[in-house]
Amino acid sequence: MPADEPAEAPEPPPIIPIETRYQAQKEMLFGALERQYEYGKWLLASLLAVHAGSLLAISQAGEARARLYQACGPLLIYGVATTLVAGGLAWINFSVVANVYAGFLTDLREGREPALKGTRKIVAKATFWITPIVAIGSLMLFLVAAVKAANVL
């Protein structure tokens, strides 16, 4: 190096020690895995209960059964389908995030700075935003079916 060029300063050590960051990432991984199951279960149970429960109520409606099913049966069946899609998307999201955290642990263990990039970043962000939209769509199908049922009765 010529004498007139300044020497590069060494990189300062990270403010938070690697072991502390590693433990935090590990806890996030376990948290993501736990929530993957709990959130998916809650989402499916709640939305399936309102849609399937409504279909069951229609089947018990006596003389109004045919009119009720014609008015709102398809909406409730579509609601069941969109609920299953939302549950699947939630599961995919939490699975990808758990995979990301596992990759972060490997990066930290090997001395690299973890970064969310590539396909995992795209899938995590897409499913994060699409899942609630699909769930809201399922809820809207239920509300429209309820209004139609009220008009039939």
DSSP string, 42-88: HHHHHHHHHHHHHHHHHHT-GGGHHHHHHHHHHHHHHHHHHHHHHHH
Read off the pLDDT of residues 16-63 as tens digits, 9 standing for 90 and up: 888 898 899 889 988 887 887 787 788 789 999 999 999 999 999 999
| Within a domain: 29 | yes
| Within a domain: 112 | yes
| Within a domain: 10 | no
Tell me the average pLDDT of the chain: 88
Containing structural domain, residue 129: 18-152
pLDDT at position 48 is 93
User: pLDDT grade, residue 101 (50/70/90)?
Assistant: confident
pLDDT at position 1 is 53
| Within a domain: 9 | no
Q: Could you tell me which residue, 1 or 128, shows the higher pLDDT?
A: 128
Both structure tokens of 3: 């004498």
User: How many folded domains does the chain comprise?
Assistant: 1
Q: Does the pLDDT at position 104 exceed 90?
A: no
| Within a domain: 61 | yes
| Within a domain: 13 | no
| Within a domain: 1 | no
pLDDT at position 2 is 59
- At CA 39, angle to CA 128 and CA 115, rounded to 5? 40
Please state the pTM of the whole predicted model: 0.72
| Within a domain: 59 | yes
